[in-house]
Structure formats: structure tokens, C-alpha cells
């Protein structure tokens, strides 16, 4: 299976120039965030890909690794509205979406927007809220609107939910079920810093400002334009086939009792288009798919009991699948 990326027409040259401009903006955003989140380039780039692919990000890691700081740094780099929601057991759905209140003066109900009406929403420790409250956030993630009293209210664009959860101290929490995990385009972890960067943290990071002092390097309209451009990145038929083959293989693996859904295929395609543009290309290559497969698909897999008994993780199983699916070659 070989890939034809098309002739070098004037349109292709124009697309290449636009992709180079996209890549420049992407790198500028990543470098700005790295002034605070140091030594975590991959996590920063994946968060940006989520934003530009119009997906949502789940960050799971132990306390103190910079999950919240990553979301705050991303929001500070974009001139966009940012809101933080601290998930607790007593949080109500209306605390997220908003509520209609009767106005005595005008004799009518008026909708008061909740914190979800922002461009970047941080849902901190999402697994500490009840399933009913989690569902209120997950609904707006999928529909990009809130319906209250039969009236739809659209959230602004761009719209990104960054949800965090800790894999420890799970007492009293409500883990997200598989159907809800499927709503997140990616699941990542930030991880501990290496020795050098942790020393810089102890020294106060003199080479970088705190989040509050990060300069704005893009407007919301700029981000919306980048999102629109990414949707026009060329994808050859063999690359489409490659995506579907990977996702289909997760459904037939002996180590999975629930494979990835078609939503995973769409998510992988959207993310790959952004990654290609971030690399300055106007077309997707198989390496884009392979690089994003684990963060996009692994959290959607439900493993069999045998796999868990043999200490196989979802990334392990997906890595074996990637090694077994033939990669299309450029002609």
C-alpha cells in the first residue's frame, strides 16, 4: 500500500506556505507555555493539539506534577476566557452549566451562565464529583452547548475542557466509566521533571515567569483560524485505511474486551491533521498516526482479565497492535 501526496500545484504550494505559518504559531505557543512547564515538551504539544483539534484533554497524574499549571499556562498564552471548576462531591450540575432565575422586574426567567461558558475550562479532580455532575460537563463537551429549560445556549469557540484526576487517593471518588472516557480526545500524564528541571523549580525558575506573567501570544480568533486550517490538511486514502486498520485491530485483539469506537478513528484523524500542520506539512503521514495512537486510543480500551493478570496495560496492547499493522509507504 503506497501513498500519493499529489502533484506540486500552485494550490499545494499555497497550502505549504499556510502550513509553515501554522507551524510557526504552534511553536510560538509551545515555547511560551514551556517558560512555565519546563522539560515537558511532549505534554505541552499534546495539549495544544487537543485545543486545535477541537477535542478535550484528560490529564491523569500524581499530585504536584503540574496538571493544573499546564491548563493555566495554555489559557494564559491565548487571549481567551478561562474558568476553573473544582469538582467536589456536593457540586451540582447547575453549578457547572448555569441556572435560570426569575427576574421580578421583567417578569421572566433569565439564564445565568455557569463557568463552563469559557474558551478553556479546567475541571479539577473530575472524579471527585457525582456521576450526575460529571455528566453535565461531558454533555457540553460533546454538544458544545447547554440546554436549560428547553433553550440551547452555545459555548464560545474555541472550547477546550482540561480535566484532571489523581490515580491515588481514590476513596470517595467516582471513576469515569468507559463511555465517558471516550469523550476525551486524549489522555496524558505530565510526569515528574528530570533532575535539572526540578533544580530550576527549587531555584525559583529564574529563566521563566510565573503563569500570571506569561505574555499572550495568540488571540481566540487566531486559534479559531488555526482550527479551520487544520481541517483542510490533506489525507491520502491509504492513511485513512491505516487509521481504520489500527482501530479495528483493537476490537479483535485477544487482550481487549472492548475496543475503540468510530469516535476514536475520528479523533485520531483530527489530531493527526493538527500534528501534520504543526510540523509545517499540508498532508498527513503515517508517522503522525503512530505518534498519536497511544494518547488518543489507549484510554478507550477495556482490557480482559487475562491481560490485567499478566500486567499488560492498554499502551502495551496498543503498542503491539501498532507493530502488527502494516504501515503504508510513500510512492
- Per-residue pLDDT at 153 exceeds 60: yes
58-94 burial string, b = 16+ CB within 10 Å, else e?
bbbbeeebbbbbbbbbbbbbbebebbbbebeeebebe
pLDDT tier at 26, thresholds 50, 70, 90: very high
State residue 193's pLDDT score: 81
249-274 burial string, b = 16+ CB within 10 Å, else e?
bbeebebbeebbbeebbebbbbbbbb
**Cα–Cα distance measured from residue 185 to residue 174, given in angstroms and rounded to the nearest whole number:** 20
State residue 123's pLDDT score: 92
In terms of pLDDT, which residue wins out, 209 or 53? 53
- Per-residue pLDDT at 170 exceeds 80: no
- Per-residue pLDDT at 208 exceeds 60: no
Window from 2-16, 18-32, 48-62, 259-273 with minimum mean pLDDT: 2-16
Instruction: For residues 301-312, give the mean pLDDT.
Output: 90
State residue 202's pLDDT score: 76
Cβ neighbour number for residue 173 with a 10 Å cutoff: 16
In terms of pLDDT, which residue wins out, 49 or 63? 49
How do residues 189-204 score in pLDDT, each as one tens digit?
A: 888 888 887 787 777 6
Instruction: Annotate 8-42 with DSSP letters as a single string.
Output: --HHHHHHHHHHHHHHHHHHHHHHHHHTTSTT-HH
Task: Note whether 176 and 134 are within 8 A (CB).
Answer: yes
pLDDT tier at 12, thresholds 50, 70, 90: confident
Instruction: For residues 116-131, give the mean pLDDT.
Output: 91
State residue 249's pLDDT score: 96
State residue 331's pLDDT score: 63
State residue 233's pLDDT score: 95
Helices (H) and strands (E) counted in the chain, each on its own, are 13, 15
State residue 325's pLDDT score: 95
Domains and CATH numbers, the chain: 2-330 (3.40.50.300)
Task: Note whether 302 and 258 are within 8 A (CB).
Answer: yes
How do residues 51-93 score in pLDDT, each as one tens digit?
A: 999 999 999 888 777 888 898 999 999 988 999 999 999 999 9
Instruction: For residues 138-167, give the mean pLDDT.
Output: 87
- Pseudo-torsion of CA 162, 165, 167, 170, nearest 10°? -160
In terms of pLDDT, which residue wins out, 48 or 165? 48
Instruction: For residues 144-166, give the mean pLDDT.
Output: 88
- Per-residue pLDDT at 109 exceeds 90: no
DSSP letter (8 states) at residue 283: B
DSSP letter (8 states) at residue 314: H
- Per-residue pLDDT at 7 exceeds 60: no
Instruction: For residues 261-290, give the mean pLDDT.
Output: 96
Instruction: For residues 240-266, give the mean pLDDT.
Output: 95
% of the chain beyond a pLDDT of 70: 94
Task: Note whether 77 and 34 are within 8 A (CB).
Answer: no
- Per-residue pLDDT at 205 exceeds 70: no
Task: Note whether 150 and 45 are within 8 A (CB).
Answer: no
Total residues found in the chain within this entry: 331
Beta bridge partners of 66: none
3-state secondary structure of 267: helix
**Cα–Cα distance measured from residue 89 to residue 21, given in angstroms and rounded to the nearest whole number:** 45
Alpha helices in the chain (DSSP H): 10-34, 41-52, 67-77, 93-97, 131-143, 178-181, 195-202, 220-230, 237-252, 262-278, 286-297, 305-309, 314-324
Return the C-alpha cell found at 57.
484533554
Amino acid at each position: 500500500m503506497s501513498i500519493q501526496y499529489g502533484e506540486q500545484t500552485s494550490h499545494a504550494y499555497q497550502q505549504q506556505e499556510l502550513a509553515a505559518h501554522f507551524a510557526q504559531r504552534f511553536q510560538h505557543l509551545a515555547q511560551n507555555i514551556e517558560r512555565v512547564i519546563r522539560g515537558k515538551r511532549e505534554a505541552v504539544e499534546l495539549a495544544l493539539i487537543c485545543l486545535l483539534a477541537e477535542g478535550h484533554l484528560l490529564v491523569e497524574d500524581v499530585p504536584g506534577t503540574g496538571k493544573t499549571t499546564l491548563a493555566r499556562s495554555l489559557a494564559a498564552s491565548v487571549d481567551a476566557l478561562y474558568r476553573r471548576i473544582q469538582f467536589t462531591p456536593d457540586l451540582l450540575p447547575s453549578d457547572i452549566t448555569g441556572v435560570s432565575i426569575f427576574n421580578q422586574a421583567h417578569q421572566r426567567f433569565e439564564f445565568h451562565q455557569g463557568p463552563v461558558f469559557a474558551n478553556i475550562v479546567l475541571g479539577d479532580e473530575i472524579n471527585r464529583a457525582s456521576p450526575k455532575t460529571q455528566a453535565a460537563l461531558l454533555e457540553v463537551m460533546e454538544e458544545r452547548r447547554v440546554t436549560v429549560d428547553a433553550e440551547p445556549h452555545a459555548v464560545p469557540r474555541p472550547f477546550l475542557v482540561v480535566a484532571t484526576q489523581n490515580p491515588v487517593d481514590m476513596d470517595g471518588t467516582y471513576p469515569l466509566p468507559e463511555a465517558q472516557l471516550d469523550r476525551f480526545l486524549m489522555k496524558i500524564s505530565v510526569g515528574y521533571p528530570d533532575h535539572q528541571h526540578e533544580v530550576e523549580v527549587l531555584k525559583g525558575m529564574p529563566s521563566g515567569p510565573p503563569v500570571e506573567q506569561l505574555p499572550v501570544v495568540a488571540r481566540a480568533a487566531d486559534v479559531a483560524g488555526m482550527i479551520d486550517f487544520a481541517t483542510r490538511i490533506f489525507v491520502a486514502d491509504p492513511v485513512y485505511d491505516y487509521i481504520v486498520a489500527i482501530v479495528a485491530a483493537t476490537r479483535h485483539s485477544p487482550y481487549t474486551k472492548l475496543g475503540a469506537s468510530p469516535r476514536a478513528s475520528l479523533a485520531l484523524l483530527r489530531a493527526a491533521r493538527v500534528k501534520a500542520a504543526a510540523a509545517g506539512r499540508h498532508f498527513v503521514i503515517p508517522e503522525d498516526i503512530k505518534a498519536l495512537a497511544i494518547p488518543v486510543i489507549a484510554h478507550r480500551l477495556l482490557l480482559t482479565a487475562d491481560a490485567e493478570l499478566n500486567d499488560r496495560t492498554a499502551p502495551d496492547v496498543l503498542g503491539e497492535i501498532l507493530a502488527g499493522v502494516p504501515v503504508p509507504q510513500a510512492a
